[in-house]
Amino acid sequence: MSYQSLYTAAQVRELDRIVIEKFDISGYELMQRAGSFTYSVLNKYFPRAFYIYVFCGRGNNAGDGYVLAKLAIEDDKYDRKVIVVNCFNPEKLEGDAKTAYQDLVTMKYDKNKVEIRDGSTFRKEEYMDLNLGELGSVFVDAIFGTGLTRDINDENLVHTIQFINFNTMEDEKQGVLSIDIPSGLNADTGSVMGVAVNSDVTATFMGQKRGMFTHDGREYSGQIEFNELDIPYESYEKLGDSHCYLTDYSDFTFDDLATRKTRKRNTHKGHFGHVLVIGGDEGYLGASLMTAEAAMRVGSGLVSVATRKSHAAQMSIAVPEIMSHGVETLDELMPLIKRATVIAIGPGLGQSEWAKLLFARVLESDLPIIIDADGLNLLAEEEQSSQNWVITPHPGEAARLLKTDVGTIQSDRFQSARDLHEKYHGPVVLKGAGSIVIDLEGNLYVCSEGNPGMSTGGMGDVLTGVIAGLVAQGRVVTAARGTDIGMTAQMGVVMHARAGDMAASYGEQGMMATDLMPYLRELANPNLE
């Protein structure tokens, strides 16, 4: 399996240092490569734009912008006007950024095609004087890079970013392009630092920044174009493992998937595991039903549901393939646990005395357990830990598990996942935009798939069933057997997200959790042409 590594800002800075010091590539050469790559991205997405506005800050990110501006001026292929807006006094630039600026202002150019403006004192109303016209404009964000460490609250900078955001993509004539990372987006956490550029496209390089792939980063980064800038592969080896990776469905091979290329002709249902779903308190039948059906759709041989007696008959009618059992006592639950391969508990479970009774018994089992929804709420009340559990909280549930608030969880989703793992020991799936999975070794995986249409009730119930169904088939089971159940969790997350993207072919708005079912079946059979 091959994953794309994701890095913190500090790791990328260290990579930059290694390349310069160990491989004799100058910082200015790297700046030239970054500017050149970004200009190629600009031409790819905005070939019809006449005006190129380059907003430059005061660090190396600004230097990349000056390089891009110079390339645009020199390019005879396009008839364009380049407007460079200095958001800070360029006379205070240092190092490679200063060199890039001097190279720009000392070159010969047509004064009618180039304009260099002082934007350090811009007021909101002054932006209205910029000639946008009908010829189309691309707005290049080279204000702040990964070195930003505090919220942007300067009034002029806020106005600048608001103006840029007002001009998002309409077609190939207009849009916003960020260099390396959208200004104001935290490279490590994916949180907006007061205000941030909402980019249509981000050209990033050397190392992909993990904050661009989760939380606000999913929205503000737009389409991400990455280039390693031809730095030696050995520089990554010297940096070491990032322990944070971007993952999608294509990362998994046939051997990883629950179904092999073909099932043997002499198999039977018992070869593919038995999922026991526990949930469906009075009035909450639907959640456990969706979990059970999802487990079947990804290939589990048998699925049973332990639910209230009043629901058992209804469930059997809804999906006859599911074995529904009315369970009111532990004596009725125990035979079901003994026959199961994996337990999924929480969807529709509620927090009644019945729910607490069943939940407490399940936690005593040595079977792998997938815990979601009310199972997480009950776990938050009586904290326990196990490496054989996968917990799958959304930010609200994560906040209850860690005795904090949603804002704290979202402010650094990577640290929140680590905190959950440290406290509860097993693999964690922190759901949301750019779901994060942490395995038993502490490695982080960010799901690159999924869409806003999946923000509907029941999606988490389906995910629980997907993970349980994959675990049941024995691809990855328990820590006791020396295998990390976290791998199965991340497989389930990307399969679920990919199914959501496939369902979105009919539009994101109006998508329901059950819309994923036929696509889950398709993804569980990767051998199909």
Q: Which residues pair with 137 in a beta bridge?
A: 51
Over the stretch 111-126, which tens digit does the pLDDT of each residue have? 889 999 987 766 555 5
At which of 213, 240, 267 does a domain end?
240
Residue 3 in this model has a pLDDT that exceeds 90: no
Long-range pairs for 405-411 at CB < 8 Å and ≥24 separation? 410/191, 410/215, 411/189, 411/191
pLDDT of residue 260: 44
pLDDT of residue 268: 59
Whether residue 86 lies inside any domain: the answer is yes
Residue 264 in this model has a pLDDT that exceeds 70: no
Residues spanned by the domain of 50: 24-240
d(CA 224, CA 130): 28
Q: Which residues of 355-387 are buried (b: 16+ CB within 10 A; e: fewer)?
A: bbebbeebbebebbbbbbbbbbbbbbeeeeebb
Whether residue 10 lies inside any domain: the answer is no
Over the stretch 389-428, which tens digit does the pLDDT of each residue have? 999 999 999 999 999 999 999 999 999 999 999 999 999 9
pLDDT of residue 188: 98
What are the two backbone dihedrals, phi and then psi, of residue 89, each rounded to the nearest 5 degrees?
-65, 110
pLDDT bucket at 438, cuts 50 / 70 / 90: very high
At which of 219, 240, 261 does a domain end?
240
d(CA 334, CA 313): 20
Whether residue 421 lies inside any domain: the answer is yes
Residue that is written with structure tokens 């059997």 in the block: 316
CATH code where residue 387 lies: 3.40.1190.20
Whether residue 82 lies inside any domain: the answer is yes
d(CA 413, CA 211): 9
d(CA 38, CA 182): 13
d(CA 345, CA 342): 10
Contact 269, 288 (CB under 8 A): no
Lowest-confidence region among 230-234, 247-251, 486-490, 496-500: 247-251
Residues in CB range of 208: below 8 A, 6 or more apart? 4, 5, 6, 7, 224, 226, 246
Statement to judge: residues 222 and 256 lie in one domain: no
Cα–Cα distances (Å) from 462 to 310, 419, 454, 496, 505, in that order, read 23, 25, 11, 8, 19
pLDDT of residue 126: 56
Q: Which residues pair with 52 in a beta bridge?
A: 82, 138
Percent residues over pLDDT 90 in the chain: 77
Residue 478 in this model has a pLDDT that exceeds 50: no
Statement to judge: residues 277 and 311 lie in one domain: yes
Over the stretch 232-258, which tens digit does the pLDDT of each residue have? 999 999 999 999 999 988 877 545 544
At which of 180, 213, 240 does a domain end?
240
Over the stretch 48-88, which tens digit does the pLDDT of each residue have? 999 999 999 999 999 999 999 999 999 989 989 999 999 99
Whether residue 245 lies inside any domain: the answer is no
Residue that is written with structure tokens 């912008």 in the block: 65
Whether residue 236 lies inside any domain: the answer is yes
Over the stretch 151-173, which tens digit does the pLDDT of each residue have? 999 988 998 999 899 877 666 77
Statement to judge: residues 220 and 260 lie in one domain: no
Chain CA centroid to CA 150, Å: 23
Statement to judge: residues 313 and 175 lie in one domain: no
What are the two backbone dihedrals, phi and then psi, of residue 204, each rounded to the nearest 5 degrees?
-120, 160
Statement to judge: residues 373 and 503 lie in one domain: yes
